Chains A and B, each alone.
Chain A
């Protein structure tokens, strides 16, 4: 167990101090992008396509421009004059900012109306008359590669079909051979449908171009403001937007979950409009726009898991078809087009694995936006965890026992996975044992046997996942060439209070508290005396931002190391003040003292004051430190989740009776914040498991584009989450910490799916894709009964 080194007043690691940022949020005083109001600000509203695939015959602006207060209608033709009608995506594909001739998905941006207020802009958008010639859309990704499928991206040089890329990892032949020779092979095609991030705050921007200073000030709902600034400079350099003239401020953000990583066309149009008009332009997405655009997942995975007849796993193979919509807008590291999907071998020790993926174009919204998934780990974990349960059922072995027999052992870390990762630490056996104890696994097995004898449907589902977060080491990880380090800059003021700035950006994670606690731990300055600042590219050090659970693994480590640099300087100052040599000075949290004479000491505050008032001769004055942290490896948080459900055969109704989540994220900085992250993530895990999924019809229309039909679960749908943890510190992180935020979204869906399918197993139902809804269960039961 972790032992706190600091007092609750100092509030270092391990203290569940209340979040510093919550006072302003709870009082409704957060400052979000939509709260920004600048003098003379104009409002933008986007006209969107009702069709999934259509030629644009004409755009008539006249009626809109006739409305008092409508100043401009911006079309693709207008942007084409500046060569701003297309933009590159992070993975070298291209995306329309505004179309000049064809729309590629329903709700794609067609043109934008600029007006003096938002209400007028909406009326203007209604009045724009767009004539379309609809075409037959490709909706089913399996049909995208048919010979007679229309070529969706003729604009791309050399593009002969709708295939985007092929990716593979591992040894195909050896894996195939192992599967062919195995006693038992279980197979399944598993689909994880598109889901939506549904953050409470939608996306938005206020762009304000000052023609006199040539400065572009942009308030943006961005999880990665520094990287976005660089991208803007690269994309719009030709019209005169140079990086030093661009200032992006990401103010408070009401939930990101990956949906606020990309550059959306709306941002670019608003920025271009401000640049051309010379006035501030605000664009805030409405809820429906937000719901039909960003999305995550959409992997169709053909899985094969091979084992000996007594259940020793030997090989895993997964071949995936990825539906990327009309462009690959994945926000992944450059060398990882499928993100960290190759973590799909899971928490188990076996030799052979092979993963491959083909990505295709369809007439859907741009693909690859993450949703709290750690770069495709959700898909990977769902694949292996479903298959492990399927194997257990197939050979009639308890799924917990099967896991114990296949786990990577504690002493095998660092563990080299068959697909190339080096897992840093874990004690999977202990974690699963703890989950089983907490839920009373053996009792539930007994109860299940009794219920089954009575013809009742009860299921127990397990998921023992391994996550991979904290991208990442510079040798492998970059976005557009920019290495995925992150940064911290600390200034301790003469009075011993401090300001620390980071390259990351909180969207609700609690950075203002967590980072302050890390510094409190390292410096002994109370966390309440430390201000945390992020999101302003003019003031914060450069960093790649907050997503994929990377802030603690990267910027948190940077904070610790920067603080240690300060401590080294402080030691020299303390020696000077105490008139001893530096070697005679020792540190304990918050103070320096003379070895063997602890009464002779100077606090960190004394030392900070001296750094400005009484520093040793020849020393650089001031008490500041900066660190850019290049992580040596990723961190591998893990967990064991167990879910118990009952299913009513007559109606298909699913009742989640219990859900226990044991997480291991290494050393914990603020247990309360971590527990909050887990609770939120578990709810975001039951969401795709039982409720959410974007539904398309054959024409590519989104059928559930409002919150009336896109079912975001509430407290009512959420079971009582029971949480706990084991602690296996990361050996390479300076605080022994790991990322945590996405573990529950990764781990919960397979636990729930496994439980429901376990309940239905006696009826002969061996798999269901998520979301598993009562009507889907009922339909499956009828099919199973008809077969029986």
Chain B
């Protein structure tokens, strides 16, 4: 449980961090909260030569609404998400998720940017980002770029971020009236990664017709998964019990879980079915408030 030797570099500005990465080369790794990276290093699954600590870069920790967008700085910690008044009031899906992520001491260090940039389908934030139709803002050698969440996750621990890129901000369409989101995951014990998790965000019009919907799944596929076929059957429709049932079946069919210590494939598909329906109902309840 002791990592291999590495060199530690602390960056205080984005520019400095990006320059360091260019100088140190591909054996350098950015670290924000470190709560995914450090355990991998301690188990020697990861042995980076250089760590560039970006956790102290100023100005990357904020939660604010600007124009049509909710903007969250990448270095915002999970516990800041948990205790933020704006999120509590208008985006309760964050509270649902963060409350179920790891434990308070990890949440004090772990950042939203790190949780997404790690590219792990077992993390909770990716499903939220898919459901909330987020845009990822990153900065690299060639300046700023903006990446749709649909194009962000490429594979196991692989994302659209290129070498030297730092995820700086998450942009989410501002919540409208008659909209609501919810997240739940089944875990084996407190602090566990999800056996399966589902994030749903729904937007209704005044007649209760579904205008927009996003559904993201946690840890039931190699890459964080958007449930597109499920979204399609609801978009533009009045959401009936029958449609909710259909959605559950689609979710259980389209997810790609594997049997492991968390349960059989069939069990996980069934769990996805159940929580997808429950989260849609919870999201609808919040939207109708």
> Which of A122, A706, A711 has a CB less than 8 Å from the CB of B2?
A122
> Which of A122, A650, A708 has a CB less than 8 Å from the CB of B274?
A650
Query: B5, A126: Cβ atoms under 8 Å?
Result: no
Query: B267, A717: Cβ atoms under 8 Å?
Result: no
- What is the size, in residues, of chain A's interface with B at 8 Å between Cβ atoms? 30
With contact pairs A126-B4, A691-B188, A716-B190 given, residues A778 and B274 touching in the complex (Cβ less than 8 Å): no
A119 to B44, CA, bound (A): 13
> Which of A122, A695, A709, A775 has a CB less than 8 Å from the CB of B263?
A775
Closest to A706 in B: B43
What is the 8 Å Cβ interface bit string for chain B, positions 1-14, against chain A (1 contact, 0 not)? 11011000000000
B219 at the interface (CB under 8 A from A): no
Query: B189, A288: Cβ atoms under 8 Å?
Result: no
Contacts of A714 in B (CB 8 A): 189-191
CB distance from A7 to the nearest CB of B (A): 43
A651 to B195, CA, bound (A): 12
Query: B4, A711: Cβ atoms under 8 Å?
Result: no
Contacts of A713 in B (CB 8 A): 189
Contacts of B262 in A (CB 8 A): 775
A422 at the interface (CB under 8 A from B): no
A529 at the interface (CB under 8 A from B): no
Query: A651, B186: Cβ atoms under 8 Å?
Result: yes
User: Majority SS of interface residues in chain B?
Assistant: loop
Contacts of A122 in B (CB 8 A): 2
CB distance from B145 to the nearest CB of A (A): 34
CB distance from A622 to the nearest CB of B (A): 51
Query: B271, A651: Cβ atoms under 8 Å?
Result: yes
Contacts of B24 in A (CB 8 A): none
With contact pairs A651-B186, A717-B190 given, residues A778 and B261 touching in the complex (Cβ less than 8 Å): no
CB distance from B190 to the nearest CB of A (A): 4
CB distance from B278 to the nearest CB of A (A): 10
Closest to B263 in A: A775
Contacts of B261 in A (CB 8 A): 695, 703-704, 709
With contact pairs A651-B186, A703-B261 given, residues A778 and B2 touching in the complex (Cβ less than 8 Å): no
A577 to B71, CA, bound (A): 87
Query: B189, A651: Cβ atoms under 8 Å?
Result: no
Contacts of A706 in B (CB 8 A): 43
What is the 8 Å Cβ interface bit string for chain A, positions 374-389, against chain B (1 contact, 0 not)? 0000000000000000
Q: Which residues of A (769-788) have their CB < 8 Å from a CB of B?
A: 773-775, 778-779, 782
What is the 8 Å Cβ interface bit string for chain A, positions 113-144, against chain B (1 contact, 0 not)? 00000110011001000000000000000000
Closest to B47 in A: A126
User: Majority SS of interface residues in chain A?
Assistant: loop
A286 at the interface (CB under 8 A from B): yes
A245 at the interface (CB under 8 A from B): no
> Which of B1, B190, B193 has a CB less than 8 Å from the CB of A287?
B1
Query: B44, A711: Cβ atoms under 8 Å?
Result: no
Contacts of A126 in B (CB 8 A): 4, 44
A119 to B4, CA, bound (A): 9
Query: A779, B4: Cβ atoms under 8 Å?
Result: no
What is the 8 Å Cβ interface bit string for chain A, positions 749-772, against chain B (1 contact, 0 not)? 000000000000000000000000
Query: B263, A778: Cβ atoms under 8 Å?
Result: yes
Q: Which residues of A (679-703) have their CB < 8 Å from a CB of B?
A: 691, 695, 703
Closest to B39 in A: A708
B209 at the interface (CB under 8 A from A): no
- What is the size, in residues, of chain B's interface with A at 8 Å between Cβ atoms? 23
Contacts of B191 in A (CB 8 A): 714
A123 to B44, CA, bound (A): 11
A652 at the interface (CB under 8 A from B): yes
Query: A717, B189: Cβ atoms under 8 Å?
Result: yes
With contact pairs A118-B2, A126-B4 given, residues A711 and B270 touching in the complex (Cβ less than 8 Å): no
Contacts of B1 in A (CB 8 A): 286-288
Query: A123, B267: Cβ atoms under 8 Å?
Result: no
B69 at the interface (CB under 8 A from A): no
Looking at B2, B191, B262, which has the most chain A CB atoms within 10 Å of its CB?
A: B2
B266 at the interface (CB under 8 A from A): yes
A287 to B43, CA, bound (A): 11
B146 at the interface (CB under 8 A from A): no
A288 to B193, CA, bound (A): 19
Closest to A704 in B: B261
B264 at the interface (CB under 8 A from A): yes
Contacts of B263 in A (CB 8 A): 773-775, 778-779
CB distance from A709 to the nearest CB of B (A): 6
Contacts of B271 in A (CB 8 A): 651
With contact pairs A650-B274, A703-B261, A704-B261 given, residues A779 and B188 touching in the complex (Cβ less than 8 Å): no
Q: Which residues of B (1-45) have their CB < 8 Å from a CB of A?
A: 1-2, 4-5, 43-44
With contact pairs A123-B4, A650-B274, A704-B261 given, residues A775 and B267 touching in the complex (Cβ less than 8 Å): yes
Q: Which residues of B (91-146) have their CB < 8 Å from a CB of A?
A: none
CB distance from A573 to the nearest CB of B (A): 59
Query: B189, A123: Cβ atoms under 8 Å?
Result: no
Contacts of B188 in A (CB 8 A): 691, 711, 773
Contacts of A709 in B (CB 8 A): 261
Query: B5, A779: Cβ atoms under 8 Å?
Result: no
A717 to B191, CA, bound (A): 11
Q: Which residues of A (624-662) have their CB < 8 Å from a CB of B?
A: 650-653
A652 to B263, CA, bound (A): 11
Contacts of B43 in A (CB 8 A): 706
Contacts of A691 in B (CB 8 A): 188-189
Q: Which residues of B (237-279) have their CB < 8 Å from a CB of A?
A: 261-264, 266-267, 270-271, 274
Q: Which residues of A (424-448) have their CB < 8 Å from a CB of B?
A: none
CB distance from B261 to the nearest CB of A (A): 6
Contacts of B186 in A (CB 8 A): 651, 653, 774
A119 to B186, CA, bound (A): 38
What is the 8 Å Cβ interface bit string for chain A, positions 715-732, against chain B (1 contact, 0 not)? 011000000000000000
A122 to B274, CA, bound (A): 46
A284 to B160, CA, bound (A): 42
Contacts of A119 in B (CB 8 A): 2
> Which of A651, A695, A703 has a CB less than 8 Å from the CB of B270?
A651
A287 to B5, CA, bound (A): 20
CB distance from B186 to the nearest CB of A (A): 7
Query: B189, A775: Cβ atoms under 8 Å?
Result: no
Contacts of B267 in A (CB 8 A): 652, 775, 778-779
What is the 8 Å Cβ interface bit string for chain B, positions 37-81, against chain A (1 contact, 0 not)? 000000110000000000000000000000000000000000000
Closest to A651 in B: B274
Query: B5, A775: Cβ atoms under 8 Å?
Result: no
A651 to B4, CA, bound (A): 42
Contacts of B192 in A (CB 8 A): 708, 711
Query: B4, A775: Cβ atoms under 8 Å?
Result: no
CB distance from B259 to the nearest CB of A (A): 10
Contacts of A773 in B (CB 8 A): 188, 263
A716 to B43, CA, bound (A): 27
CB distance from A668 to the nearest CB of B (A): 33
Contacts of A704 in B (CB 8 A): 261
Contacts of A774 in B (CB 8 A): 186, 263
A651 to B261, CA, bound (A): 16
A767 to B224, CA, bound (A): 37
Q: Which residues of A (230-286) have their CB < 8 Å from a CB of B?
A: 286
Closest to A713 in B: B189
A716 to B44, CA, bound (A): 31
Q: Which residues of B (143-202) have their CB < 8 Å from a CB of A?
A: 186, 188-193, 195
With contact pairs A651-B186, A714-B190, A716-B190 given, residues A775 and B2 touching in the complex (Cβ less than 8 Å): no
Closest 8 CB pairs of A and B: A775-B263, A716-B190, A122-B2, A775-B267, A286-B1, A778-B267, A711-B189, A650-B274
Q: Show 7 residue pairs from A and B whose CB-CB distance is below 8 angstroms, ordered by the A residue.
A: A650-B270, A695-B261, A704-B261, A706-B43, A708-B192, A713-B189, A773-B263
- Taking Cβ atoms with an 8 Å cutoff, the residues of B that contact A are 1-2, 4-5, 43-44, 186, 188-193, 195, 261-264, 266-267, 270-271, 274
- For the complex with contacts A123-B5, A779-B266, 11 further pairs of A-B residues with Cβ separation under 8 Å are A288-B1, A650-B270, A651-B271, A652-B267, A703-B261, A706-B43, A711-B192, A714-B190, A716-B189, A775-B264, A779-B267
